Amino acid sequence: MKSPKALPLVFQHHAPTEEALLMMDCIRCRRNALYECAVPLPVFSPLDSIEQCNQTLGDLTFIDAPLPKTTGALMKALPFQGPGWYTLPATQWLLHTGKISWDMCTHKIDASARHPPDYLRNALEVMETSWSNTEGGHAYAKNSINSMIGTFDIRSESAWLLRSSRTEDDLKPLSNGQACLKIRTDYEGGSIYDYVLKTALVDNASFRPIHDLTLHTEATRMAQALAVVEKLGTPLKCIYEFKTDSILFDPGKNSNKIKDALESTTFGDLPGLYNNLVKAKQNRLDEYSKVDGVESNGKVFRCYEANEDDRLHCKRQLPVTEADTPDIKEEWKDADPIQCIERGESLLLLGRPGTGKSTLTNQLVESLEGKGQHVICAAKTHVAASRLPNGISLNHFVNSKVKRGRYPAWLVLDEISMIECSLWAMVSKLAFCGTKFILVGDWNQYKAINDRWCGQPTERSAENSSLLWSMAQGNRCILTHNHRSDPKIFDFCASICPCGVRADLTLQEQVATAKREFPLTKRKADHSLVISHAKRRRINAEMNSLTRTRDAVYLKAPLTKQANAPQNAWMFPGMQLVCYMDGKRGNLYNGGWYTVVSVDHSKFRLKGEDEVEFEITAQDAMAKLRMTFALTFACVQGLTLQGVVRLHDCDHPRMDWRKLNVGISRATSSDLVEIF
């Protein structure tokens, strides 16, 4: 976040007199800001976008109002301290009391996830009770909670690496800004040198919103206390000092009345302040947003006669902040990919299957590498990565590069629709390091599987996010010309997608059209596409038995509870298998296709798509490889299937237009597609 953080209120309005003064203190202010919280705790994700406010408050609202110039103006404006992002407690008070108007609320951000207001109560209680049996436990409990809130604003992340050698000159500190600690350990016969390398990483994760919620609540409490004091006859000139969560003032003749009013206020009473302290013509409870309270009899304020220790002993500046107006996603610019790359600008490259995305991407990579640029190509799946120049899986890239502070000049990402929110969070760090992006994909294909953020399903996609727009620098190229599949497949897939001309058709109508366009025949299907693994296993077993050769070897698969569990099968030369496993091991990778060269009861000889032959044990093969007579729709995205492709389950309750689009577009020709 570019906005400066909320500041503690420590400043002097007037030099205090020698008369008896009153100190108003907000009881356990920061602890109670979370313990007695009345608003949900926001949890933001990288896919949350800045929007125009349009007279609706967000979890964070940007307020663009004149900067307070004097301490008197600041006190009247509290909890506003200058242009910036404000949390709900602050914006609600400012609007309802008429200190700001809707036209000053310019932008907002709503969080992907929200925790209940009492989410941290148990943790706070545990922290307090942990000190209950110690001397000075109350002070320790208070300090521990305040320290925790302070750490919510810390934004630092580091990668550590240990290298050891018996020779001092073998290992030198790297010259890329890494901090290095050298440790020498002597032993009989020599020494061991340990180099501990620390690399500072870019971090875009923070508890900053919760930190600011706490400080904005603190400032709002001070504003509420001032409202009580001022309403009972104490002018602002009698307010002398602010000291974080307390006010030093001269109550005059109304000392007892003010003290009683403040000390009788409970957290359950706070919503009533909006009605009791604001003039009727300014009452905006219904016009703006409902102000929620908490059912609590806990006291908010306390008052006591001030002593010398309660006074400030140093001059503090006016705690004001100022932030630039937030950037907001603009309209996409139609960009020429070649010119865009030559200018050194990032790019979003979209297109349906067969429009030449892979070919163009390879050309762009070749051009960049020809200019000496460091380019890394990555994709969510190993299948997609295998189509890229020296492609690697995105998970491997994040773990081996991003988490170790190693950033390329250019990053090519394929199949971006399948990237989950947590990976976007990691990849987006590279934007802060100057990395440029070529983002490739098709929003009409599968989204990320089981995408979750902070334990909750993620409903937002990268497609409409400010993140994607900023990473691509607003440059977009949409490929529309068909270079691969025949026109019949291409036109049908274009028609069933939301951006197609027949997007008004229901799924049932789309399926009915598909059955007419791609009718069922009596041919043997080379690949059947299904939804459930149970049906996949049944079809695979039937076809395996029908197609097995005389030299086939029957092997048993290990028993697992996986939905895509392997199955017993006849294995024979020429048989095609697909790999199901996490990551990559040796010549095997998830989603890779392999042909059996030879097989016996102990080992397999396989040939990959790169025509390289290798051996693995029969045990590994039966655990990690699956037959390809039947495949699920989810596992074929990005593949081109040879032979007859038959789509099953088109009337299944879990069928949707994405599966229909992916399934039909896998075939090389329209006369090789059938709808069962």
pLDDT tens-digit profile of 384-406? 787 788 888 898 899 888 888 88
Q: What is the pLDDT of residue 339?
A: 94
Write b or e for each residue in 448-477: b if 16 or more Cβ atoms lie within 10 A of its Cβ, otherwise e: beebebeeeebebbbeebbbbbbbbbbbbb
Percent helix / strand / coil, the chain, rounded to 5: 35, 25, 45
Q: What is the pLDDT of residue 502?
A: 46
Q: What is the pLDDT of residue 160?
A: 79
CA distances from residue 454 to 202, 288, 394 in whole angstroms, order as listed: 21, 30, 21
CA distances from residue 498 to 197, 276, 638 in whole angstroms, order as listed: 51, 52, 20
Q: What is the pLDDT of residue 184?
A: 87
Q: Which two tokens stand for residue 580?
A: 């199901």
Q: Which residues of the chain have pLDDT under 50?
A: 175, 280-283, 285, 499-502
Q: What is the pLDDT of residue 158?
A: 77
Distance CA(13)–CA(11), nearest Å, equals 7
Type of residue at 175: S
Q: What is the pLDDT of residue 176?
A: 55
Write b or e for each residue in 542-559: b if 16 or more Cβ atoms lie within 10 A of its Cβ, otherwise e: ebbeeebeeebbebebee
Type of residue at 111: A
Type of residue at 18: E
Q: What is the H or E stretch that residue 632 is in?
A: strand 630-632
- In this prediction the pTM is 0.79
Distance CA(620)–CA(608), nearest Å, equals 16
Give residue-wise pLDDT tens across range 316-374. 777 888 888 888 888 999 999 999 999 999 999 998 887 888 889 999 999 999 999 99
Q: What is the H or E stretch that residue 302 is in?
A: strand 301-305
Write b or e for each residue in 167-178: b if 16 or more Cβ atoms lie within 10 A of its Cβ, otherwise e: eeeebeeeeeeb
Residue 645 near residue 674, CB atoms below 8 Å: yes
Distance CA(50)–CA(61), nearest Å, equals 9
Distance CA(407)–CA(429), nearest Å, equals 9
Distance CA(417)–CA(662), nearest Å, equals 13
Q: What is the pLDDT of residue 500?
A: 44
DSSP SS3 for 528: strand
Measured between its terminal Cα atoms, the distance across the chain in Å is 52
